[in-house]
Every structure is written in C-alpha cells, then in structure tokens.
A and B are shown apart, each in its own frame.
Chain A
Amino acid sequence: MKIDFIGRTKIWAAVSGAVIIISVVALVAIGLNFSVEFTGGTSLDIKFKQRPPIKKVRDTLGKFGLQKSIIQPVGSSNMLIRFRQPGLTQKKALAQQEKVQNTIKKSFKVIDINAEQVGPEWGALITNAALLALFLSLAGILIYISLRFEFKMAVSAIAALFHDIAITIGIYALVGREVSPATVAAILTITGYSLYDTIVVFHKIVENSKTIQKDTYANMANRSINQVLMRSINTSLTTTLPVIAVLVFGGETLKDFAFALLIGLITGAYSSIFVAPEILTIWKETEPRYANLKRKYAQGQALGTRL
C-alpha cells in the first residue's frame, strides 16, 4: 500500500489554507478567552456540599455589583466563578474578594474554596516571557535543524510549526476555551514535540536521498513518508493516549494542559506528513539537479504514455 502524499500537495494546501483562514477569522471575530492570569481579576473555585443553582450564586454576587461574573459548573459539585474588579486598588480588591468568599460560605454549604487573584501587570509580564521563549525556541530549532540537516528543512519545519500554532489558536478562539499560563506552557512544549514526527520524516528523506539517486525528489520524499507512516501514526497515538486520559479524568488545571497538548499533537502529526515534506519538496525541486530530474521524468512519462 502506498499513498501519494506529495502528488496531492494542492489538496493538502487547500485544506490547510482553509483551516488557517477559518482560524484567523475566528481569532479576529471571536478573539481569545484569556484567564485571569492574563487579564487580571479574581477566580474562585468552590466545592459545595450540594451545588446551588447558578442563578442563586449570581444573585449573591450581585450584592457586590459582580452580577456579570462568569459562573461555570465544574465536575459534580464544584463551581468556578471569575470576575474582574476594575477601578479597585489592590488592597480594596483583596478586601472585596475576602468579603465575597465569606458571604458565599455563609449563604451556601461550602466544603472548600480555592481563590486566585491577579494584578493587571502580571499578565503583561508572563505574556512577554512567553513570547520571548517562543521566539528563542524558533531560533534554536532553526539553527539546530540547519546544522544537523539543512537550511531548507529547517525553514519547512518552522513553516509547519506556524501552521500548527495558527490552527491551535484558531481552535481556542472557536471553542472559547480559556487560555491560561498552563495553555501557553503546553503550546510552547508542543512546538518541540510537534517537530518530533517531522524530524523522523526528514531523517528518512536524508537517508533515502543518499541511496536513491535516479528518482525525482517528489517520488523519493513520498516513499520516505510512506516508509515512516506507521511510525508516525503509532508515536502520535502513544503520546496522545495519556493526554486523552488526562483530558477525561484529570481536574480542571490538568485539563487545560491536556487540551492544549492534544490539539498540538494532532496538528503536529498532520503537518509532519501533509505540510512540512510538501514545502520542502517544492523548494528542493527548484534546485537545478532536482529540476532536471523532474523534467526528464516528466518526459519519460509522456513518452511512455504515447507508446
């Protein structure tokens, strides 16, 4: 069984292009749902003995002018409340949070409360750190792959990575899932792992390009992808299985990690087969050696069909 991946580059390009356009539109139209760590604000995770209706909790919060809080039921007995207190100084915000907590404790049967409060400047600090980390990661990857393989492979891999990141952001916008520092950490980690499969494919291409001299680059790359296909599918599967387990059984924080990791792993697996080698092939076939081979091969095909 052999699948023609490279020959259908246009189809994959159309698919990826469409998904990226949807992602960009979603990002612009809907935007991302940033957690309190980025926006500043307060988040309360409350475990109730018996969870009250959301409306009742909202009414209680209304006493503090916080009726617009985001209130979500979590699991079987928990509730997540998030609100921002613009215009309050840090001290007053803290005092208000404590009052809210005490009122909730008095009004309902509460087992436990987790509270988190973040000042507005914290978000800018961690966003800058994350962007710097991403930039340095990309630079590091570019240099490493250029040295170990070649520059064109490095650029193709990075292009595939941008493809993955764009789609991941798009999915976050569409689904409306909260973007927390955990999410960002997971996505940054995935930038490394999403290249795992790509590097496996490139390794094979390098190996084959040494032994297969007579064939076009496209055919050689396609054979390489097919040779490592099962490997890519299975490695993606074993990395994904635990992540899915966490997504199903883990608590809220863990689910944040798992969701980001899952999206990253899926897009990473896709781009290692359908994006990175295709970009590489198009680029490599502009080199005189492979352009010649391609021309000769095309002539041969044409002759062959005529005969």
Chain B
Amino acid sequence: MSNKQKYFYSLLAVAALIAASIYGFINNRPGLGLDLRGGLSVVLTAKESKGVRITQKAMDQAILIMQERVNKLGVSEPTIEQQGSRNIIVQLPGIKDAEQALDVIGQRALLEFRIVQKKYEGQSPEQMNFEISKKKKVLEKTLLTGKVIDSATATFSSGQDQLSSAPIVEFTLTPEGTDKFAKITKENINKRLAIVLDGRIITAPNIKSEIPDGKGVIEGIESIDEARRIALVMQTGNLPFALDISQHQQVGPTLGKDSLNAALMAGIIGVALVAVFMLGYYRIFGVVTWFTLAVFGCILAGLYVLINLILVQLGSAGFSLSLPSIAAIIFVFGSAADSSIIVYERIKEEIKGGRSIRSAMDVGFAHGFRTFVDADLVAFLTAAILFYFGVGPVKGFALVIMLGIVADLTTSFLFTRSIIGLLASYDVIKSTALFGLRREATPE
C-alpha cells in the first residue's frame, strides 16, 4: 500500500470514528453532575471501632440500608455507590427537602421485631407501610431489636421434590435472644411478627409455633432474591460499625446553572484563543489544527460515552459531567494543540536544517510523534494514579485527562499525520511563508 493510500484509509477511519462518536453521544448524552443541576450529595464513611474489621459484606449491608432509606425519600434517579473500602456516596439529584433527606440518611440503622395489630393482620407489608405513612398505629411496641440475630441466610427449603422446594430464610439467635424469642413466639402464635428496618416493614411472617431453640425459618417468600434481601436486612442490627456522614453537599438549581454557563463560556473562549493563536503563528498549519481540535473533540466525546456505557454494563452508575470534568475538558483541548505544535516545530527545524518542504513534512511527523508519545505517557501515568486514588469529583477530572490523552494520540496518529502526509505528497505548500516561516530564516 502506498503512503497516499494509507493516509486516505486513515482519514476514512477518522470519519468512521467521528460518525460513531456523534451517534453515540446523541443517543447516550452524559448526565450532568449534581454540582451543575442541583441536588444533594452525601458521603457516608464506615467508622471503625475497636477490634472490628470493616468487611465487604458489612458494606453491602450498609448499601442495602441506604437503598431502603432512599426509596423512602422517593427521589428519581438516585445513585448509591461504594467508593474505596469504607465510603458510600449517595447522590440525590433535584431533591427539594435536603434537610429531611439528610435526617433520613444519617440515622443509625434500627432493626426491630414487633407484632402486627389485629386490625391489619390481613394486609401485605406494602399495605402496612402505606398505613404507617398515614400515621396509623399498625404495630405493637418493640419486642426485640436486631441485636438478637446471630446469623441469617437465604436458602431453599428441603422439600421432597423440586416443586415443593421454595426460598426461605433460616436464622439463628444469640443465646440471650433465644429465651426471649421463645417467650414471644409462645405468646403470639398465629399472630404476625413484623421485621422492621428504620420504621419500614420488610416482611411480616406468621408465627406458626414456638421457637424454643433459637433456630427459626421464614417461609412463603416469593423469590430467592427477596430471601437474600430479608437475610441481609435481618443482619443489619449487627452492622459492626457506625456510618457517619463525613461530607455532604447541597447545590441549588440556579447556582448549578450559573456554574455551567460560566464553564461553557470559559471553555469556548479558551478554545477560541488557542485557535486564533495557532492561525496567527502557524498559518496554514493553524487551519489544520482547527480541524485537528474538532476531530479531537468528537473522539473525546465518543470515548467518554463509551467508558460510561462500559461502566453501566459493569453495574456501576457511570460518570456524570461535573465541574471538575469540565475543567479537565478545557485543559485537554489546550494540550491537544501541544502535539500539533511539536510536529510543526519539528518540520520547521528540518527545513532550517536544509531539507525541502516536502521531505521535512515527511519526517517531521515521525520525529515529533516519538517525542510527544513519551510526554503524553508520563502525563497519562500520573492521571491514572490520580484516578485510582481520587475520591468523587477528582475521579471525573482524572478520567477526562486520561481520555484526553488517548483521544490526542488517536487524532495525531490517524488525522494529523495523514493530513500532513497528503499535503506533502501533493506538494500543496510551495512556500514556507504559508506556515509562518520566513525565507531568510532558512537555512541556519
């Protein structure tokens, strides 16, 4: 394949990438972060107490508790995510009553066992919760708290055949809990015992018989997932750590919008300044840079969407555009122009060294590329480390820096190289003045 052909194919690849990026971007527009659209963001940190290790299982329980609480708040599109080994980030976009939300999220988890009042015995837990929300007295007073639960596991009942095997939760009680539970079950046979987390009934099984030995089973659960959820909830009374609100941030909708407008304004002016400078200094190459920056922008957007799609596939919430990521976007546009400059200056240098314009352009890219690949890789390395250790918005910043470097290398290799190569092979540029090099300056 001749060089010309290679360049044409590269440009075709660029066109395909741009099309894919634009298509992907339109269909999967990244959401705006809380700092731009308003809302409440809370970081909860598990607090270690003496002799207690914070296990992943305990963190899973904590996240489950948070999900229950957030459901209670009725926010659309909440995200609850673990970050690092000890932090849970709860994001509630567009929430009106931040005070109430903080109260609900910040409370200590409380698991209780309470008997359901006769009047409501025939209802499902959902109906009971609805009655509770109307301030009706559905439950008797608290008989036991979650501390009496030693363990709870979801499993299948060992029926005679496949058909009679149903999901159940088996639980065991602590020695202190065993006697109390025996007494309660004995006195309340055929009543319903509600398991209540933070004031919400999770399930309310019927007491069939006395449980004297501290080993009980909950039956009549619809699915194994539901059984798992109940088992997790039953252990939350034993959550071995306190969850503290270590940071919270409320952003009003108007202030968020102000920030977004200011950021867009700054970005447009910043990129325009770079474009004007490049034209003034590098003339025809400056125009090439305009296209380079446009291609770079498309590929960056495409990569951002792609990463988010992958993250969502992996079950994470993905990244929304926050102020720090916008700062990074503006910054990487400036550094994308750097790569072009290194190539153009290299071409000038080759001409000063006595090469013809055409051969200078041929070798200029190759030499320049080697230089900025090294420079880019070092920058990538630091950004990757920052991404790994950063918390919250800093992660978004580091991610954009990394994507910016990948987009820059892709653009340079596929686009800038081909354009320079084609300009050289068609001998378009006859005078060095066209890219801002005065004749008398050549050769040295």
If A193-B335, A251-B258 touch, whether A242 touches B271 (CB-CB below 8 Å) is: yes
Within the assembled complex, what's the spacing in Å between the Cα atoms of A126 and B341? 37
Stretch in A11-19, A56-64, A212-220, A233-241 touching the partner = A233-241
If A114-B252, A189-B398 touch, whether A125 touches B45 (CB-CB below 8 Å) is: yes
Q: Which residue of B lies closest to A98 (CB)?
A: B99
B227 within 8 A of A: no
If A112-B254, A235-B338, A242-B270 touch, whether A90 touches B245 (CB-CB below 8 Å) is: yes
Range, interface on chain A: 35 or more
Q: Which A residues are in CB contact (< 8 Å) with B50?
A: none
If A122-B247, A238-B334 touch, whether A189 touches B390 (CB-CB below 8 Å) is: no
A20 within 8 A of B: no
Within the assembled complex, what's the spacing in Å between the Cα atoms of A185 and B382? 10
Main SS class of interface, B: helix
Find out whether the CB atom of B263 lies under 8 angstroms from the CB atom of A238: no
Partner pick for A185 among B254, B278, B335, B394, CB 8 A cutoff: B394
A45, A227, A257 — most chain B CB neighbours (10 Å): A257
B349 within 8 A of A: yes
Find out whether the CB atom of B323 lies under 8 angstroms from the CB atom of A251: yes
Q: Which residue of A lies closest to B380 (CB)?
A: A192
A23-38 near B? 1/0 per residue, CB < 8 Å:
0000000000000010
A273 within 8 A of B: no
Partner pick for A133 among B269, B324, B389, CB 8 A cutoff: B389
Q: Which B residues are in CB contact (< 8 Å) with A240?
A: 334
Partner pick for A234 among B247, B281, B378, CB 8 A cutoff: B281
Partner pick for B249 among A116, A196, A251, CB 8 A cutoff: A116
Find out whether the CB atom of B99 lies under 8 angstroms from the CB atom of A136: no
If A114-B251, A241-B273, A253-B323 touch, whether A137 touches B246 (CB-CB below 8 Å) is: no
Q: Which of B357-396 contact A (CB under 8 A)?
A: 370-372, 374-375, 377-383, 385-386, 388-391, 393-394
Find out whether the CB atom of B377 lies under 8 angstroms from the CB atom of A113: no
Find out whether the CB atom of B255 lies under 8 angstroms from the CB atom of A132: no
A141 within 8 A of B: yes
Find out whether the CB atom of A228 lies under 8 angstroms from the CB atom of B385: no
Within the assembled complex, what's the spacing in Å between the Cα atoms of A43 and B337? 37
B212 within 8 A of A: no
Within the assembled complex, what's the spacing in Å between the Cα atoms of A117 and B102? 11
A191 within 8 A of B: yes
B38 CB, nearest partner CB in chain A, Å: 8
Partner pick for B277 among A37, A47, A133, A237, CB 8 A cutoff: A237
Q: Which residue of B lies closest to A248 (CB)?
A: B266
Find out whether the CB atom of B342 lies under 8 angstroms from the CB atom of A235: yes
Q: Which B residues are in CB contact (< 8 Å) with A230?
A: 345
Within the assembled complex, what's the spacing in Å between the Cα atoms of A239 and B337? 8
A245 within 8 A of B: yes
Within the assembled complex, what's the spacing in Å between the Cα atoms of A199 and B342? 12
B438 CB, nearest partner CB in chain A, Å: 13
Partner pick for B323 among A132, A254, A261, CB 8 A cutoff: A254
If A133-B389, A235-B342, A243-B331 touch, whether A94 touches B262 (CB-CB below 8 Å) is: no
B366 CB, nearest partner CB in chain A, Å: 13
Q: Which residue of A lies closest to B376 (CB)?
A: A196
A119 within 8 A of B: yes
Partner pick for A199 among B337, B375, B390, CB 8 A cutoff: B375
Find out whether the CB atom of A140 lies under 8 angstroms from the CB atom of B338: no
Q: Which residue of B lies closest to A136 (CB)?
A: B385
Q: Which B residues are in CB contact (< 8 Å) with A115?
A: 98, 248-250
Q: Which of B69-101 contact A (CB under 8 A)?
A: 87, 98-99
If A118-B247, A136-B385 touch, whether A185 touches B334 (CB-CB below 8 Å) is: no
A231 within 8 A of B: yes
Q: Which B residues are in CB contact (< 8 Å) with A234?
A: 281, 341, 345
Q: Which residue of B lies closest to A93 (CB)?
A: B245
If A130-B389, A199-B371 touch, whether A253 touches B259 (CB-CB below 8 Å) is: yes
A266 within 8 A of B: no
Find out whether the CB atom of A189 lies under 8 angstroms from the CB atom of B370: no
Within the assembled complex, what's the spacing in Å between the Cα atoms of A24 and B258? 38
Within the assembled complex, what's the spacing in Å between the Cα atoms of A246 and B269? 8
A162-190 near B? 1/0 per residue, CB < 8 Å:
00000000000000000001101110110
Partner pick for B278 among A130, A144, A199, A238, CB 8 A cutoff: A238
Find out whether the CB atom of A254 lies under 8 angstroms from the CB atom of B249: no
Q: Which B residues are in CB contact (< 8 Å) with A249?
A: 262, 265-266, 269
Task: State the A residues within 8 Å of B (CB).
Answer: 37, 45, 47, 78, 90-91, 94, 98, 111-119, 121-122, 125-126, 129-130, 132-133, 136-137, 140-141, 144-145, 148, 181-182, 184-186, 188-189, 191-193, 195-197, 199-200, 203, 227-228, 230-231, 234-235, 237-246, 248-251, 253-254, 257-258, 261
Task: State the B residues within 8 Å of A (CB).
Answer: 35, 43, 45, 47, 87, 98-99, 102, 106, 244-255, 258-259, 262-263, 265-267, 269-271, 273-274, 277-278, 281, 323-324, 326-328, 330-331, 333-335, 337-338, 341-342, 345-346, 349, 370-372, 374-375, 377-383, 385-386, 388-391, 393-394, 397-398, 401
What are 7 A-B residue pairs whose CB atoms fall within 8 Å in the complex?
A141-B381, A144-B377, A192-B379, A193-B335, A230-B345, A241-B274, A248-B266
